[in-house]
Structure 1
Amino acid sequence: MSLQIIHLNKKFGEQVALNKINLEIGNSEIIGLLGPNGAGKSTLMKSIVGVLKIDEGQILFNGNDVTENEITTKKNMGFLPENNPLYPEMYVKEYLNFVADIHQIAKERVDEVIELVGITPEKSKKISQLSKGYKQRVGLAQAILHSPDLLILDEPTNGLDPNQIIEIRNVIKEIGRQKTVILSTHIMQEVEALCSRVILIHQGNIIQDSQIEEFKGKYGSLEEAFANYTHS
């Protein structure tokens, strides 16, 4: 798998959300995408998956331009946005079967993913009846159902209790052995537990792109490094 982002610009009115972003991401990496609120993280992720139109620049996924080859590229991407857009009146397995139909994949895969993300006891419930943690798992299940080469997760453990966070981390870690994961989070422990590489966006610019130990550098913790980079 390869993802290349070349001179990517995005504006909302006069506000520059992304400023000449250049990135190259390879196979089997779990990457922590960091930045303060409003830094451009969600805009970058939505641009990659085609939710937002690109103003200038180019995104190449496995050699294909994502703007010119939308269907081909989206077939190999999975996306869990921060707001986790589920259908609350559908039952869990019904919803995942619906997603499987969209991707034209066998229903047997649905049972595999239900077990992988740990929602077997909840599969016959309505989504509206689930806790926040189980809803996140259902969202993760739909994102990985079609075995994408690239998985993009926007705050996947937001609002979960400590046990749920550990369980979701374990699922992400397992996926990252074979796939590439871009993970946006404000939780530095999550970055340390999962990621080998850190990309830090601030005010629409990439100000750090390095291995996690290099990112931490002379600072005592990731929190200290993050605060220093984003306040300078």
Structure 2
Amino acid sequence: MIEIRDLFKYYGDRRAVGPLSATIEKGEIVGLLGLNGAGKTTTLRVLACDLLPTSGSVKVAGLDVVEQPHEVRKRIGYLPDTPPVYPEMTVEEYLRFAAKLRGVPADKLDERVGDAMELTETLAERDQRIGTLSHGFRQRVGIAQAIVHEPELVVLDEPISGLDPVQIVEMRDLVRSLGGERTVVVSSHILGEISETCDRIFVIGNGEIVASGTEAELSSRLLKGMRVELTLRVGDRAREAEALLVEVAGVDQVEAVEGVERGKGIQSFLLHAQRDVREAVAQALVGAGFGVLELSRGERELESVFLELSGPADGKKKKKKKKRAAADDAPPPAPQQEAES
């Protein structure tokens, strides 16, 4: 569905993206994960034909974003980091306007607008002015305009930015519902949200993909294993629980955590494993009659690796990256080019 080969984008003499290569299959939900300034937004703007690349090749459904931008745009729905909505319009007025701009035939207009509102759960707000809606609902309207013409690819730049915890969960479900028939590319700087939403993750640092894979693959490769934290209701069977955990296939080490309500028959453990053993651990414990109060992976470790890989947007790591890019014969800087309107 998407083929990116040796993409570079310069702003003046500053390299914002590159070298960057990736392949994304039809129907996948893929996340671009990186700190602010890592190159996520620039990559998405190139993909959405909103910005011309300096060099390299980007194709969507076999169509080149530079040579065939109008054909590519027909196949893409794009939500930038700020929803492109008109506050004075009602939700339905705006979506009808957006649908017409994207070439939806007049006899299909009612159906497409209705479907977009239904999928984004904005039907009840159809007659409200967008300026009166909460930030979360404006984001939903932004997604509705991105899908109203039934694109093959949906590109979402930081869709959870500024949302409260309830809205984040709802937005996560909405993004997942877009997959399957459509390919979805979504960006975020929050590891947990990308891992909960996406099939695959591309970690971007200083304009390059520094790691990619599923969350489990990244954990296995980058952490050389994983940690599992669990809290059990053990009664007076703490030693039995520890012995049982040691025997679970894939568990390398078991550590009993001190000072966790031991007097109340509750005990916490920290497990070290070479793969995801949570399901096997849960089955073994429940089968032996232990109450599992908490079972989670050590996400903080992966988060710290993500921060290390992404690197700061400026400072020593960036300087080191620049030096390496020059040594690898990166293309020379080129003047800024504006995308077709």
- Mark yes or no: TM-score above 0.5: yes
* 3-state SS of 2:58 partner: strand
Match of 2:304 in 1: 224
Secondary structure of the structure 2 residue equivalent to 1:225: helix
Structure 1 stretch displaced more, 42-51 or 105-114: 105-114
Alignment-derived partner of residue 164 in structure 1: 167
Q: Which residue of 1 aligns with 2:20?
A: 21
Shift of 1:40: 0.5
1:93-172 equivalence runs, <5 A:
93-105=92-104, 106=108, 107-172=110-175
Q: Say whether the 8 Å CA contact 1:60–1:66 is kept in structure 2.
A: yes
1:183 aligns with 2:186: yes
2:154 aligned partner, one-letter code: L
Q: How well do the aligned residues superpose, as a CA RMSD in angstroms?
A: 1.4
1:203 to 203, 206, 213: 206
Match of 2:69 in 1: 70
Q: Percent identity?
A: 39
Q: How big is the shift at 1:152?
A: 0.8
Q: Deviations over 1:84-132 (max 9, x none)?
A: 1211111110000011112232221111111111112211011111110
User: Distance in 1 between the 2:131 and 2:112 partners?
Assistant: 23
- Alpha-carbon distance in structure 2 between the residues aligned to 1:39 and 1:104: 34
* Aligned partner letter, 2:47: I
Kindly indicate whether the alpha-carbon contact (under 8 Å) linking 1:216 and 1:225 is maintained by their aligned counterparts in 2: no
Q: Which runs of 5 or more structure 2 residues have no equivalent in the other structure?
A: 227-297, 312-316, 318-341
Cα distance between partner residues in 2 of 1:38 and 1:171: 26
Deviation at 1:214, TM superposition (A): 1.4
Q: Distance in 2 between matches of 1:57 and 1:13?
A: 17
User: d(CA) in 2 for partners of 1:165 and 1:171?
Assistant: 10
TM-score normalised by L of structure 1: 0.95
Q: Which residue is 2:4 aligned to?
A: 5
* Contact 1:7–1:57 (CA under 8 A) maintained in structure 2: yes
Secondary structure of 1:208's aligned partner = strand
Question: Which segment drifts farther, 132-141 or 11-20?
Answer: 11-20
Once the two structures are superposed, residues 194-230 of structure 1 have per-residue CA deviations (whole angstroms, 9 ceiling, x without a partner) of 1121101111111112222111222532413312323
4+ residue segments displaced more than 6 Å: none
Deviation readout 1:123-153 (Å, 9 max, x if unpaired): 1011111110110000010011111111111
In our comparison, the structure showing a higher alpha carbon Rg is: 2
Q: Which residue of 2 aligns with 1:35?
A: 34
Q: Does the 8 Å CA contact 1:117/1:168 hold for their aligned counterparts?
A: no
Could you report, residue by residue, the CA deviation over 1:42-87 in whole angstroms, capped at 9, with x for unpaired residues?
Answer: 0000011111111111111111111111111111111110011211
Q: What is the CA–CA distance in structure 2 between the aligned matches of 1:196 and 1:115, rounded to whole Å?
A: 24
CA distance in structure 2 between the partners assigned to 1:49 and 1:125 by the alignment: 29
Residue identity opposite 1:134 in structure 2: F
Aligned partners of 1:63, 1:226: CA distance in 2, in Å? 32
Quick check: 212-221 or 84-93, which moved more? 212-221
8 A contact 1:215–1:225 mirrored in 2: no
Q: Give distance in 2, aligned partners of 1:28 and 1:224.
A: 30
Name the stretch that deviates more: 87-96 or 187-196.
187-196
Q: Does 1:61 align with 2:60?
A: yes
Give the TM-score, by structure 2 length. Answer: 0.65
Residue ranges of structure 1 left out of the alignment (5+ in a row)? none
Q: How many Å separate the matches in 2 of 1:200 and 1:86?
A: 30
How many residues of Structure 1 are paired with residues of Structure 2 in the alignment? 231
Match of 1:45 in 2: 44
Deviates more, 1:187-196 or 1:38-47: 187-196
Distance 1:215 1:112 in 2: 36
